């Protein structure tokens, strides 16, 4: 079982490395800094970059944590029926308050 | 086997009411003016206080609990919670008059203040270390935002210092919490208290280490001496309304946590009391000595808050029964007198940096009411007899003295004599003749601030003359001996 799992993983990487077309471009060769150019105007080069980057990152974390909470809840749901429902509803309700707030504050408006 | 926890609404209600205020300020802030929000929040705080008063358990009654004892609405929680609500209402009332001038008049101010109060109540009502930690973090995160909310360099500096040192404090505290859990195998206060008796030497070492780290973490939060460095900068850099909140409510909550952890869970654990007495001695010396040399009145009050941390923490050295009652009494008195003094600063200051002590000269001839009230607050802070501050100090010293901390009590008495100098110098200046033009902010009706100051001064006078009005509720040692539950 483990062998098959490992094999598939290794095979996928190998096959794409051997057979895949290789077209290098500037963006592909850049060091990976979450979409920021590390050399020309990125983080730490003393140039301006949009503060939206952080806001989006923080929003991502908030909703990421939400899913991280929901997976264990979904697993245990059957055993905790009335309690888990209200608990999840409270949690989502409080999260919605935050969502409404950022929506009204215009955090989600690009440009 | 999974079992749903028991959810009881009654012990949760005071906290939920405050949380409702926070959430409604967040959501309705886009539609309603801030004064309306503040009015709503004041009403919700009053309702929360009423809900707490209803939770009072008479003799023989068991306190209401929820979540399997993680949330305990015992009498100690009710008394500490009422103190917290009193301080929060003072901060909100003062903000009605001064927030606009301090460029703080956003709905976020109300929302963050109420979130912080939610956290403080969670600490007071906590029945295990995790709930205490969550409350502490909710309170701290909201307080960092409050300190930074004003758009100014000073507030930024204040908020950043508070955030960095506060996070270090939290980290140390969490480490200590983990060690205590490792040593005792329990997170609930009752479980820890029960487990401390029969520990192996190895586990005892862990417990002592954990207790000392918890002490250091709480030391950061309440500003005990080697960990107090942030206090003067944060309190004097933040807008005065926020300083009022931080130096009263947040400190009361941190002391509530200390009382729960050290007076309850770790009451039989060795060694932390010896470490605490050294911290207190250092706090008394540093706080009082530094206050002597301040020229800015707000900064002097910040150092006086550090000095008072030392006096307050002495109550923790008493036996749980006596020390808890002393701390409960002193915390309310401290909240009222510091709140009233900072409310006067907020009303009269020209800039958010507060006024210089020399600017207070002749205040009596310009604002007689404020001058008399401020003199009363200063006398109470100094611990002069007709006011409640005297009785608070007396109880705290007595608690430590009776439990064998004689040298510390002597040091504390000497420190409060030295404190007379820096409290009475501004009090004297208030009544000196002065013909120079007024140095106060000249404009504005301040009905809400006047109400706060009047109530605060009336309360410290009445509680000084008739201490049993509040102490009578606290005096039962059973309240404080059951901090950890059974």
Measured between beta carbons, which residues in chain B are less than 8 angstroms from residue A101? 26-27
Q: Is residue B47 in a domain?
A: yes
**What 3-state DSSP class applies to B125?**
coil
State mean pLDDT over B317-334.
Answer: 91
pLDDT of residue A111: 63
- From residue B180, give the alpha-carbon distance in Å to each of B50, B125, B203: 35, 20, 9
Chain B CA closest to residue A100: B27
3-state secondary structure of B126: strand
Given a cut of 70, is residue A34 above it in pLDDT? no
What pLDDT is attached to residue B306? 93
Is B261 within 8 Å of B214 (Cβ atoms)?
yes
- Residue A66 reports pLDDT greater than 80: yes
Q: What is the band of A44 on the pLDDT scale with cuts at 50, 70, 90?
A: low
Q: Does A101 touch chain B (CB under 8 A)?
A: yes
Check residue A7 and give its pLDDT. 93
Partner residue opposite B26 with nearest CB, options A76, A80, A101: A101
Query: Is the ipTM above a cut-off of 0.85?
Result: no
Q: Which of A76, A84, A100 sits opposite B27 (nearest CB)?
A: A100
Residue B429 is assigned to a structural domain of this protein: yes
Q: Which of A104, A106, A107 to mutate to test the interface with B (most CBs of B within 10 A)?
A: A104
Taking residues B72-85, report their average pLDDT.
Answer: 93
CB B129 within 8 A of CB B180: yes
Task: Inform me whether the C-beta atom of residue B5 falls under 8 Å from chain A C-beta atoms.
Answer: yes
The reply to whether B1 falls in a domain is: no
Question: Contact at 8 Å (CB) between B260 and B252?
Answer: no
Average pLDDT over residues A3-24: 89
Q: Do B2 and A98 touch (CB under 8 A)?
A: no
**Cβ–Cβ below 8 Å for B5 and A82:** no
Dump pLDDT digits (tens) for B381-431.
999 888 999 999 999 999 999 998 999 999 999 999 999 999 999 999 988
Write out the residue range of the structural domain in which residue B356 sits: 9-481
Is residue B197 within 8 angstroms of chain A, CB to CB? Answer: no
Residue B443 has pLDDT above 70, yes or no: no
Question: Averaging pLDDT over each range in A31-40, B18-27, B361-370, which range is the top one?
Answer: B18-27
Q: Is B31 on the interface with A (CB under 8 A)?
A: no
Would you call A97 and B4 a contact, using CB atoms and an 8 Å cutoff? no
| pLDDT score at B440 | 75
For residue B200, the tally of other CB atoms under 10 A from its CB is 9
What pLDDT is recorded for position B143? Answer: 95
C-alpha dihedral over B14, B18, B21, B23, to 10 degrees? -110
The strand ranges marked E within B43-99 are 64-66, 71-73
Pick from B316, B306, B246, B258: nearest CA to B282: B306
- DSSP tag of B4: P
B59 or B230, greater pLDDT:
B230
Cα–Cα dist B276/B214, whole Å: 11
Total domains in chain B come to 1
Distance CA B361, CA B426 (A): 8
Cβ separation of B4 and A94 shorter than 8 Å? Answer: no
Percent of chain B at pLDDT > 90 equals 62
Give the span between the Cα atoms of B115 and B136, in whole angstroms. 11
Assigned domain for B291 exists: yes
Residue A79 touches chain B, beta carbons under 8 Å? yes
Answer yes or no: is pLDDT of B156 > 80: yes
B442 in a structural domain: yes
**B23 interfaces chain A, CB cutoff of 8 Å:** yes
Q: For A94-108, B133-147, B246-260, B323-337, which range has the lowest pLDDT when averaged over its residues?
A: A94-108
**Lowest-pLDDT choice from A65-74, B90-99, B288-297, B312-321:** A65-74
Q: Is the pLDDT of residue A46 over 70?
A: no
pTM of the model: 0.89
* A76 contacts chain B (CB < 8 A): yes
Q: Does B465 touch chain A (CB under 8 A)?
A: no
Across the range B206-213, mean pLDDT stands at 93
What integer best gives the mean pLDDT of chain A? 80
pLDDT tens across B82-139, in order?
Answer: 999 999 999 999 998 888 888 888 889 999 999 999 999 999 999 999 999 999 999 9
Poorest-confidence range of A25-34, B43-52, B245-254, B449-458? A25-34
Asked if residue B401 lies in contact with residue B481, where contact means CB atoms within 8 angstroms, the answer is: no
Question: Would the CB atoms of B30 and A79 count as touching at under 8 Å?
Answer: no
Which of B4, B8, B28 is the best substitution to test chain A (most A C-beta atoms within 10 A)? B4
* Mutation target among A101, A104, A105 for the B interface, most CBs of B within 10 A: A101
Question: What tokens were used for B156?
Answer: 């930024």
pLDDT higher than 70, residue A45: no
Task: Please compute the mean of the pLDDT values over residues B194-214 and round it to a whole number.
Answer: 88
Per-residue pLDDT reduced to its tens digit, B374-394 = 999 999 999 988 899 999 999
For residue B177, being part of any structural domain is answered with yes
Q: Please, what's the b/e burial string for B54-93 (b: 16 or more CB within 10 A of its CB; e: otherwise)?
A: ebeeeeeeebbbbbebbbbbbbbbbbbbbbbbbbbbbbbb
Mean pLDDT of A67-76: 85
Whether the CB of B4 is below 8 Å from some CB of chain A: the reply is: yes
pLDDT of residue A63: 84
Give me the residue from A83, A94, A101 closest to B4, CB to CB: A83
Q: What is the pLDDT of residue B40?
A: 95
Closest CA to B234 of B342, B158, B290, B169: B158
Tell which residue, B280, B289, B307, has the closest CA to residue B403: B280
In this prediction, residues B286-291 reach a mean pLDDT of 92
| Predicted confidence band of residue B5 (pLDDT cuts 50, 70, 90) | confident
User: How does residue B77 score in pLDDT terms, banded at 50, 70 and 90?
Assistant: very high
The verdict on A22 touching B (C-beta cutoff 8 Å) is: no
Residue B486 has pLDDT above 60, yes or no: no
Residues of chain B neighbouring A94 (CB-CB closer than 8 A): 23
Query: Three-state SS for B406?
Result: helix
Q: Does B2 touch chain A (CB under 8 A)?
A: yes
Residue range B41-66: mean pLDDT, rounded: 90
Query: Has residue B441 been placed in a domain?
Result: yes
Q: Which residue of A has its CA nearest to B29?
A: A101
Number of Cβ within a 10 Å radius of residue B122:
25
From first CA to last CA, the distance across chain A in angstroms is 50
Q: What share of chain A is helix, strand, coil (3-state, %, to 5)?
A: 70, 0, 30
Percent of chain A surpassing pLDDT 90:
11
Please state, for a pLDDT cut of 70, what percent of chain B lies above it: 98
Helices A52-76/A81-105 angle, 10° precision: 170
pLDDT for residue B15 is more than 90: yes
The per-residue pLDDT of chain B, averaged, comes to 90
Q: How confident is the model at residue A48 (pLDDT cuts 50, 70, 90)?
A: low
- For residue B409, what pLDDT is reported? 93
- Does residue B2 belong to any structural domain of this protein? no
DSSP string, B462-473: HHHH-THHHHHH
Confidence at residue A21, expressed as pLDDT on a 0 to 100 scale? 84
């Amino acid at each position: 079982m483990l062998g098959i799992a490992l094999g598939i993983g290794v095979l996928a990487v190998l096959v794409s490395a051997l057979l895949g077309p290789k077209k290098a471009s500037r963006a592909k060769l850049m060091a990976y800094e979450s979409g920021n150019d590390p050399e020309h105007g990125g983080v730490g080069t003393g140039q301006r970059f949009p503060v939206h980057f952080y806001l989006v990152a923080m929003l991502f974390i908030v909703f990421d944590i939400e899913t991280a909470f929901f997976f264990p809840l979904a697993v245990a749901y059957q055993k905790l029926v009335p309690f888990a429902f209200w608990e999840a509803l409270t949690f989502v309700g409080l999260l919605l308050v935050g969502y409404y707030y950022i929506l009204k504050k215009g955090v989600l408006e690009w440009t | 086997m999974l079992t749903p926890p028991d959810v009881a609404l009654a012990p949760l209600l005071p906290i939920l009411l405050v949380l409702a205020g926070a959430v409604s300020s967040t959501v309705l802030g886009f539609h309603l003016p801030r004064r309306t929000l503040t009015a709503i929040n004041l009403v919700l705080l009053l309702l929360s206080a009423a809900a707490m008063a209803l939770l009072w358990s008479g003799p023989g009654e068991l306190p209401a609990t929820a979540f399997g004892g993680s949330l305990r609405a015992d009498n100690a929680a009710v008394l500490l919670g009422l103190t917290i609500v009193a301080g929060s209402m003072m901060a909100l009332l003062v903000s009605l008059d001064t927030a606009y001038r301090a460029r703080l008049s956003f709905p976020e101010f109300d929302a963050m203040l109420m979130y912080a109060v939610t956290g403080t109540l969670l600490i007071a009502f906590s029945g295990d270390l995790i709930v205490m930690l969550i409350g502490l973090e909710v309170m701290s995160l909201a307080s960092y935002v409050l300190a930074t909310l004003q758009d100014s360099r000073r507030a930024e500096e204040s908020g950043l210092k508070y955030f960095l040192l506060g996070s270090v404090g939290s980290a140390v505290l969490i480490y200590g919490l983990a060690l205590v859990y490792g040593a005792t195998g329990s997170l609930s206060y009752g479980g820890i208290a029960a487990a401390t008796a029969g520990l192996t030497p190895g586990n005892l070492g862990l417990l002592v280490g954990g207790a000392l780290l918890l002490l250091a973490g709480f030391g950061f939060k309440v500003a005990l001496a080697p960990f107090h460095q942030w206090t003067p900068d944060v309190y004097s850099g933040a807008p005065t309304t926020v300083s009022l909140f931080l130096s009263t409510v947040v400190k009361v909550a941190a002391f509530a946590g200390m009382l729960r952890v050290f007076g309850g869970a770790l009451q039989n654990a060795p060694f932390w009391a010896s470490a605490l007495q050294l911290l207190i001695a250092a706090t008394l010396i540093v706080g009082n000595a530094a206050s002597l040399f301040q020229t800015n009145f707000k900064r002097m009050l910040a150092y006086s808050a550090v000095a008072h941390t030392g006096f307050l923490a002495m109550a923790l050295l008493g036996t749980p029964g006596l020390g808890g009652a002393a701390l409960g009494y002193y915390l309310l008195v401290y909240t009222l007198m510091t709140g009233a003094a900072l409310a006067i600063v907020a009303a009269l200051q020209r800039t958010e940096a507060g006024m210089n002590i020399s600017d207070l000269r002749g205040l009596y001839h310009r604002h007689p009411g404020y001058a008399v009230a401020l003199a009363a607050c200063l006398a109470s802070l100094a611990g002069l007899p007709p006011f409640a501050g005297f009785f608070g100090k007396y109880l705290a010293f007595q608690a430590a003295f009776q439990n064998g901390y004689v040298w510390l009590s002597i040091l504390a008495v000497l420190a409060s004599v030295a404190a007379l100098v820096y409290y009475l110098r501004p009090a004297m200046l208030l009544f000196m003749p002065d013909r120079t033009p007024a140095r106060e902010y000249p404009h504005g009706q301040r009905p809400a601030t006047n109400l706060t100051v009047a109530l605060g001064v009336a309360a410290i006078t009445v509680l000084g003359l008739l201490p049993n009005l509040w102490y009578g509720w606290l005096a039962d040692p059973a309240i404080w001996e059951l901090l950890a539950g059974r």
